[in-house]
A and B are shown apart, each in its own frame.
Chain A
Amino acid sequence: MTATKESLFDFLLHLGDNALVLGHRLGEWCGHGPVLEQDIAMTNIALDLIGQSRNYLDYAGALEGKGRDEDVLAYRRDVLDFKNFLIVEQPNGNFASTIARQFYFDAWHLLVLQQLSESKDERLRDIALKSVKEVTYHHRWSSEWVIRLGDGTEESHDKMQHAIDDFWMFTGEMFEQSEDEAELQKDGMIYDAPAVKERWMAEVKRVLDEAGLKMPEAEWMQSGGKTGFHSEHLGFILAEMQFLQRAYPDAEW
């Protein structure tokens, strides 16, 4: 692969892994949601994300040209090869934790997809144009819940504030840009990280203000997901997600 192809391959894995791991986490709510409608909402969002992940991993496999398809990339890579953000692999916790994680991610995801919808890479642009419509619904859902819980009872407000504070340290990583990504951005293929950060901060503040919640101020941030340094949680997710393909390679329905 050329250097550009290799950078794009890594970037596609990063987007695909974010969607896959978060989709898996949301899927864990299936049958456990606080009310039926929200159980369905979370699994619907999970389904969208897993579908988007297939599109990215399928493209990554084609770009690599070594015969690895979406399933091989999803089920036969280990923790160190996953490039998702740390935030998406964090446990569901209570409903407010799931909402805080989703809200931070959706706000980033929507802004990034809007920019990728103008990517000079045609296939990436097509995937983004498809996904951006779905993620608009995700973002609306998670923002509404932040507001509803923040502006709700004393207990829901406290839980929401707690979750917003807890997940804050995982948001810094979303705006780090590797040298390879900077090159891709120069070529008009991917998004402009500083611009996304500025708009993300404004959007998060807008929603938190409306929810009567305080914007976290801590500056220390976790980092490492994109380069394969994960929290202890990812291994457990993969153990569950990849079990069947590890135990019975190439098993099919």
Chain B
Amino acid sequence: MVGEQTSLETKAWDVLDKVEDPEIPVISIVDLGIVRSVKDIEGHLHVDITPTYSGCPATQVIEDSVNDALHHAKMEPFTVKTVLSPAWSTAMISDSGRSKLEAYGIAPPADESSDKLALMGEERQIKCPNCGSHDTKMVSQFGSTPCKAHFKCNDCLEPFDYFKCL
């Protein structure tokens, strides 16, 4: 964020922070990094949101929820726009978002150094969100939603979702 927020912008961020992700209801779309910018241009609010994956079916639902939330908070006039650039990445998930994911049972995306290892084809170590063990195994890099991979823990034997790096 550059410069000072107007009171309208601050209020809009508060409203948006209460909009949940439809697939992962413990985390808000602000925590997830889907809200890219909120701008007050002469009293007209411009909200940019970005999809996580190109084909994520939640994108439309999120856009509708954002419109609903702003409408209920009587923030008119406002415009909600979907932007592709800069492309969403898991680095845009906030720290509080990461801990909420883990508490919910979804392993948060690994950090950048382990990303680089994975890009070079090496196994990354993902911590089991249930028992904390690092002895885990990827079952499939495609999971229950486009943004997740499917893992299993070799210690507690529980299957779990991993929010994969993008």
A130 x B146 contact (CB < 8 A): no
Q: Looking across the interface, which residue of chain A has its beta carbon closest to that of B140? A: A37
B53 x A55 contact (CB < 8 A): no
A residues in contact with B143, CB < 8 Å: 40, 44
Q: Whole-angstrom distance between the alpha carbons of A40 and B161 in the complex?
A: 14
A residues in contact with B144, CB < 8 Å: 40
Q: Whole-angstrom distance between the alpha carbons of A129 and B86 in the complex?
A: 8
Per DSSP, are chain A's interface residues mostly helix, strand or loop, or mixed?
Answer: helix
Q: Looking across the interface, which residue of chain B has its beta carbon closest to that of A41? A: B142
Q: Whole-angstrom distance between the alpha carbons of A45 and B55 in the complex?
A: 9
B residues in contact with A122, CB < 8 Å: 85
Total count of chain A residues near the partner, CB < 8 A: 29
Q: Whole-angstrom distance between the alpha carbons of A55 and B83 in the complex?
A: 11
Known: A51-B53, A133-B166, A134-B53. A126 touches B142 (CB 8 A): no
Contact of B141 among A46, A50, A131, A137 (CB under 8 A): A137
Q: Which 8 A-B pairs have CB atoms at the shortest separation, nearest pair first?
A: A51-B55, A51-B54, A47-B55, A37-B140, A41-B142, A126-B85, A44-B142, A130-B87
Residues of B participating in the A interface, judged by any CB pair closer than 8 Å: 51, 53-57, 84-89, 119, 139-144, 146, 150, 164, 166
Given contact pairs A140-B141, A141-B142, enumerate 7 new A-B contacts (beta carbons under 8 Å). A47-B57, A48-B146, A51-B56, A129-B86, A130-B54, A133-B87, A137-B164
